[in-house]
């Protein structure tokens, strides 16, 4: 390594210097807003409103977080989202494997037609109203099913899984198992699943993050507060500006109440994004892997 450094020409030295500077700039542009949100969420309300927060928390306080957890909508939303994420991902994984495995078997007659039918839906779909009417005719409006079934699988993820099975689970492997009397179902359970833990992890992550972050289906199909996922509650608070007055217990002036409302938003952003960010450092590699497999033409 040292040797290469010594041999660097003047032009290259300047290049590497500028190159690292560029990366540093990119790093700071992305990082600063994140740090600011984090610091603001732990600051006092006056400090946030008057712009005293620059890098670190000013007048450290937890009142933003206290207000967040006093809001019953957020607690209910959190629980609902947790349910949708776990149940939804379970359905997704099951359906995805059930679609991807058969489509990965080259001997399957008609697999190209079936694959084409799946892939076509990535290019064309019915649109908002036909989807809404379908869910309505199925009597799933304002039920938990509307959050789980329409998002049953993603064709993109089916292609990722199929590509993986095609390259790692050979036909010979199946034939060897079949001679010993192993059926396809048993083969999936006892051979494919253990051999494809990596890709299953990728799928769980993609689907999990999708469910945690999605709001569109809830926005279109749900009407009851008791069913709302976190993202709908967040929309009310962050975008529509509906702060639950009961969470602001301070009997002080409107100005101060508004100050707490401003502060709460930063705390909410942190609370809502934290679960994903806590998991993220441990699974970053899997995500990257998923994107790379997805980029291979199936």
Partner 1 sequence: MSLDADPVKLNYAAHPAAIRRKKLWRQMKIDYQLYFIILLPFAWLLLFQYGPMYGLQLAFKDFHVFQGIWGSPWVGFKHFAKFFESYQFLSVVKNTILISLYELVAGFPIPIILALALNATLRTKFKQAVQFITYMPYFISTVVMVGIILQFLNPRIGIVNLALGHLGVDPINFMGDPSMFKSIYVWSGIWQHAGWGTIIYLAALSGISQEIHEAATIDGASRMQRIWNVDLPGIAPTITTLLILNMGHIMGIGFEKIYLMQNPLNIASSEVISTYVYSVSLASSAPNYSYATAIGFFNSFINLFLIMTVNQIAKKVGETSLW
Q: Which of 55, 113, 239, 254 binds partner 1 (CB under 8 A)?
A: 239
Closest contact distance (angstroms) between CB of 232 and partner 1 is 8
Name the minimum Å distance from CB 246 to partner 1: 21
* Binding status of residue 284 toward partner 1 by CB under 8 A: yes
Site for partner 1 contains 145 (CB under 8 A): no
Q: Please list every residue from 34 through 73 that binds partner 1, using CB under 8 A.
A: 34, 36-37, 48-51
Which range, of 14-22, 63-71, 192-200, 246-254, touches partner 1 by CB under 8 A? 14-22
| Min dist. Cβ of residue 1 to partner 1 (A) | 8
User: Among 68, 188, 199, 222, which residue interacts with partner 1 (rule: CB under 8 A)?
Assistant: 188
Residue 134: phi and psi, rounded to 5, are -60, -50
Instruction: Please count the helices (runs of H) and the strands (runs of E) in the chain.
Output: 16, 0
Alpha-carbon distance 234 to 214, whole Å?
11
Is 113 one of the binding residues for partner 1 (CB under 8 A)? no
DSSP 239: I
Output the six-digit token pair for 28: 């700071």
Q: Which of 87, 149, 195, 198 binds partner 1 (CB under 8 A)?
A: 149
User: Helix, strand, coil shares of the chain as percentages rounded to 5?
Assistant: 75, 0, 25
274 is a contact residue toward partner 1 (CB under 8 A): no
Q: Of 57-65, 99-107, 161-169, 246-254, which segment contacts partner 1 by CB under 8 A?
A: 99-107
Q: What element of type H or E holds 62?
A: none
Alpha helices in the chain (DSSP H): 2-7, 10-41, 45-49, 63-70, 72-104, 111-123, 128-137, 145-148, 155-168, 171-179, 184-187, 193-195, 197-213, 216-221, 230-234, 254-295
Q: What is the DSSP string of 254-295?
A: HHHHHHHHHHHHHHHHHHHHHHHHHHHHHHHHHHHHHHHHHH
Q: Is 83 or 210 the residue whose CB approaches partner 1 more closely?
A: 210
The widest CA-to-CA distance across the chain, in whole angstroms, is 80
Contact by Cβ (8 Å): 216, 297: no
157 contributes a contact to partner 1 by CB under 8 A: no
Q: Interface with partner 1 includes 228 (CB under 8 A)?
A: no
Min CB(112)–partner 1 separation in Å: 12
Our finding on whether 176 is near partner 1 (CB under 8 A) is no
Other C-beta atoms lying within 10 Å of the C-beta of residue 244: 17
Pick out residues in 195-214 that bind partner 1 (CB under 8 A). Answer: 209, 212-214
The minimum distance between CB 198 and partner 1, in angstroms, equals: 16
Residues 252-271 that bind partner 1 (CB under 8 A): 262, 265-266, 268-269
Interaction between residue 112 and partner 1 (CB under 8 A): no
Backbone angles phi, psi at 124, to 5 degrees: -145, 135
292 binds partner 1 (CB under 8 A): yes
- On whether the CB atoms of residues 48 and 266 are closer than 8 A, the answer is yes
Residue 220 touching partner 1 (CB under 8 A): yes
Token pair of 158, please? 């089916």
d(CA 237, CA 31): 24
The count of residues interacting with partner 1 (CB under 8 A) is 95
222 belongs to the binding site for partner 1 (CB under 8 A)? no
Cα separation of 24 and 21, whole Å? 5
Stretch that binds partner 1, among 13-21, 61-69, 161-169, 195-203 (CB under 8 A): 13-21
């Amino acid at each position: 390594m040292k040797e290469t450094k010594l041999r660097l020409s003047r032009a290259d030295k300047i290049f590497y210097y500028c190159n690292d500077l560029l990366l540093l700039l990119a790093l700071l542009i992305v990082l600063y807003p994140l740090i600011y949100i984090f610091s603001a969420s732990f600051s006092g309300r006056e400090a946030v409103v008057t712009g005293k927060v620059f890098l670190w928390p000013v007048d450290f306080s937890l009142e933003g977080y206290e207000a967040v957890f006093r809001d019953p909508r957020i607690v209910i939303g959190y629980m609902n989202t947790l349910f949708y994420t776990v149940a939804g991902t379970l359905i997704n994984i099951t359906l995805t494997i059930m679609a991807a495995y058969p489509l990965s078997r080259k001997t399957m007659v008609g697999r190209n037609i079936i694959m084409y039918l799946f892939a076509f839906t990535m290019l064309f779909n019915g649109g908002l109203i036909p989807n809404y009417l379908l869910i309505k005719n199925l009597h799933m409006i304002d039920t938990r099913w509307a959050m789980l079934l329409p998002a049953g699988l993603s064709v993109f993820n089916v292609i990722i899984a199929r590509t993986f099975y095609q390259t790692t689970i050979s036909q010979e492997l199946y034939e060897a198992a079949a001679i010993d009397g192993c059926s396809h179902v048993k083969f999936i359970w006892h051979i494919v699943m253990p051999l494809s833990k990596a890709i299953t992890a990728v799928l769980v992550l993609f689907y999990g993050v999708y469910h945690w972050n999605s709001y569109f289906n809830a926005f279109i199909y749900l009407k009851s507060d008791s069913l709302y996922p976190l993202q709908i509650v967040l929309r009310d608070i962050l975008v529509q500006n509906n702060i639950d007055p009961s969470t602001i217990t301070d009997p002080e002036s409107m100005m101060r109440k508004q100050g707490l409302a401003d502060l709460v938003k930063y705390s909410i952003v942190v609370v809502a994004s934290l679960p994903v960010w806590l998991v993220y450092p441990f699974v970053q590699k899997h995500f990257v892997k998923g994107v790379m497999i997805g980029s291979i033409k199936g």
